[in-house]
Amino acid sequence: MGQELRLYTGSYAKREQEGVAAWGLRAEDGRLERRSGLAGIHHPSFVRCNAAGTRLYVVSETGAEPGSVHAYAIEAGSGALTPINDASTLGGSPCHLALDAGERLLVATNYTGGTVSAYAIGADGALTLTDNVAHEGRGPRDDRQEGPHPHSTIFDPANRYALVADLGTDEIVHYRIDYEAGKLIRHGATKTAPGAGPRHMAFHPAGDVLYVVNELDNTVCAYRYAGEDAVLAPMQTVPTLPAAFEGASTCADLRVTEDGRYLYASNRGHDSIAVFRIGGDGRLEPIEIVPCGGRTPRNFAIAPGGGLMLVANQDSDNIAAFRIDAGTGRLLPTGESIATTKPVCIAFL
C-alpha cells in the first residue's frame, strides 16, 4: 500500500449524525476511505487541525446565541477524537477558525453575531475565551450586507497581525495581537469594492501578497502586503466566472499551492473551480474553470505535497477528488467521488 494522507471533514449534519469524520486518502490514486465519525455537534461546519496533528478544533455553527467551539485530542494511530473542552463564541453562526503559527491563540469568526472571538490554548489543547470584539457598519446590499458579517480570519506571516474578512462591511479589518493577554487590538481596516463581500483569504508563500476571494461579486483580489504596519495595497482584481455566465453564483473558498505557482477559487452556482497561474509579481493569470464534480463547492483543500485536491460539494452530498498537474496547475478528475452528508470543510493533518 502506498502513502495514506489523513484528514477530517466538517458538515451541516444534525447533532445526532456523525458530522465530523476522519478519512484516509491514498496519494497514488486519490481514493478516499472513511475511518471514523463523531456525533454530538450541531452543524460542525468548520474544522481546524494543529500542525502536529494532535488536536482538532470544531465550530458548532448555529444561528442561536451563542455558538461554540470544541477542542479534541487526536489519537495518533486511529485518529479517534477525545473531547478536551468547549467554549462559547459569544456570537451566532461561527463559521471559521484560525490558528496562529505558534499555536497560542485560536480565533473564531461569528457570521451572524458580527463578532470575532479569541481563545488562549492551553498545553493540553484546552480553550479559554480571552476576547470578543464587535464589528460595526454595513455594505450597499440590503439582502446580505445589512450589518457586519465577519467570515474568516488569517494570521499574517510574521504572526503579528490577524486580518478579518468582513463580508457585511466590505472590509479587511486588521488586528494587532497581544498574545500575553489574548487580545485583538484594532489596528485599522482596508475597504474593498462596494458590494464585493470579502469571504476567505490566503497569503502567497513569500508573504508579500494577500489574496481575497469576494463572495458577492465573484472576484479574487490581490493585495501587496507590507507586514511591518499591516498595510494592504490593491494590485489586481480578476473574475472567477466565465464572461458569458448569466446565472446566480457566489464564491466560497480559495487556496494557493505550497510552491506559490497556482491559485484556485470555488464558485457555488456555476459549480466550478477557477484556476489561476501566479506570476513573479504575484498577479493572477486565468488558466481554466473546471466543473467541481458536484453542486455547491463550499470548501476544498490541497493535499500535502500538492498533487491532489478534494472538493466538498455541499448540496450534492459528495467529496470529489482531482489530480493537480504540477506542470500546468490544471485539474484532472481522478474519478473518485465519495458520498457523505452535506460536507462543507476539509482539513488535512
**Among 312, 319, 300, 289, CA closest to 255:** 300
**141 close to 128: Cβ distance less than 8 angstroms:** no
Q: Is residue 340 part of a domain?
A: yes
- Predicted pLDDT of residue 148: 98
> For the segment 198-244, what is each residue's pLDDT rounded down to a tens digit?
999 999 999 999 999 999 999 999 999 999 999 999 999 999 999 99
Q: How many CB atoms lie within 10 A of CB 196?
A: 26
What letter does residue 315 receive in the DSSP assignment? G
- Predicted pLDDT of residue 181: 98
| Percent of the chain whose predicted confidence (pLDDT) is above 90 | 95
**95 close to 111: Cβ distance less than 8 angstroms:** yes
- Predicted pLDDT of residue 140: 98
Q: What is the Cα–Cα distance from 4 to 107, expressed in whole angstroms?
A: 30
For residue 18, the cross-strand partners are none
Q: Say how many residues make up the chain.
A: 349
**Among 192, 137, 210, CA closest to 168:** 137
| Distant-in-sequence, close-in-space partners of 10: CB < 8 Å, separation ≥ 6 | 19, 20, 44, 45, 46, 47, 58, 59, 343, 344, 345, 347
Q: Is residue 30 part of a domain?
A: yes
Tell me the CATH number at 298.
Answer: 2.130.10.10
Q: What are the residue ranges in the chain where pLDDT is below 70? A: 1-2, 64
**Among 225, 255, 259, CA closest to 240:** 255
- Predicted pLDDT of residue 2: 64
Q: Is residue 202 part of a domain?
A: no
Pairing of the two strands 127-134 and 161-166:
unpaired
- Predicted pLDDT of residue 3: 83
Q: Is residue 219 part of a domain?
A: no
Number of independent structural domains in the chain: 1
Q: How many CB atoms lie within 10 A of CB 117?
A: 29
Q: What is the Cα–Cα distance from 346 to 84, expressed in whole angstroms?
A: 21
Q: How many CB atoms lie within 10 A of CB 26?
A: 18
- Predicted pLDDT of residue 27: 86
Q: Where are the alpha helices (DSSP H) in the chain?
A: none
> For the segment 134-160, what is each residue's pLDDT rounded down to a tens digit?
999 999 999 999 999 999 999 999 999
Tell me which residue has cell 466550478: 272
Q: Is residue 279 part of a domain?
A: yes
Q: Is residue 228 part of a domain?
A: no
Q: What is the Cα–Cα distance from 207 to 223, expressed in whole angstroms?
A: 11
- Predicted pLDDT of residue 94: 97
Instruction: Note down the domain range covering 289.
Output: 9-40+252-349
Q: Is residue 293 part of a domain?
A: yes
Tell me which residue has cell 474568516: 152
Q: Is residue 305 part of a domain?
A: yes
- Predicted pLDDT of residue 63: 79
